[in-house]
Structure 1
Amino acid sequence: MSKFAPLNALETQALRLSLGLSQAQIAALTKHSEADVVAWEEGTQALPQQAEKLLLELDDVIEMQVLNTCDGIEALFKKEPKRRLAFVVYPSQALYQQYNPEFLSSQPLTELYTTAAWRIKKECKLVLEVDVSLVALDAESYKAYRADNGLSESRESRAKWAADQLK
């Protein structure tokens, strides 16, 4: 008996929606047509195993980011209790690529990064009772903030900028 149980049409659509992607984005990621994606979600065509594997791997990467980030936040808060955090999200693919080249292999679309941030927000609220706000990066405001505060470009600088946006 095979250990592989393919996703049905409803599960395929639910996975796409849980990733926060459009049918066109799924088509681009899996290198299939948008008509194929529609057919997968209608159940008139089987989701190819390779495409399913890719989408499930992306979901697994997001879940690992959620777990690792929440564990890191929990460890940090044991030393320095806080109840509010800000996470930077990227309003466009170009900004995401500019500021996160290291994540392009694991999260090839800004929407996947935003999905991870949303899931982290929900997990932090439920498990850690921490309020997380998602703050869209405004590149010009961020550059001015760095200049005004003598900061270099880094993930930490973006986090400080985002926290400052909540004040």
Structure 2
Amino acid sequence: MRRLLWVAGVAVALVAVTGCTDSSAPGDASSRPALSSSPLSSSEQPDDGQEPVAEPPELDDSEHLAGRQPETKGNASFSYAKGAAGDALIVAVRCQGAGTMKVAVKTVNVSFPLECLAGETTTTYNQVGVSGVEKPGTVSVTAPSGVHWSMTIGRGEPPAEDQQ
């Protein structure tokens, strides 16, 4: 399931949209920014038959990788690369474990909570289209120690209805 979070202008407006994707275009490892936390070992990965949290969410073929964080437990921050003017910022998060995590994209002053569930892997795609999203930045996550998560930051064209 794919939920998009649209952020427009100075005011933050959130609208959930549902769809599906089967894209499998991983980014080039050389384009990945440095990470500030350590991934979990494969022995710590939950085995529930769902998409593993160890695999960060994939982007659609039309989207470009800006940063990726492998499976992490609890709090962490990581950087992402700059993008082209006019592109939207995509924040795709996969999590598992009971608790609410808070994702903050400091460069554009946007944050949102995500509810993670015990025994279930949840993947959420958020798209941010405010001034400054083309700049490089940092994503900070605050999460309970029992929440495992991974994240992909991407760039893509904003939806046609958001373009002027």
TM range (shorter): under 0.3
Per the normalisation by structure 1, the TM-score is 0.21
Which of the two has higher C-alpha Rg? 1
Higher relative contact order (CA 8 A, sep 6+): 2
Write 1 or 2 for the structure with the bigger share of strand: 2
TM-score of the superposed pair, with normalisation by structure 2: 0.21
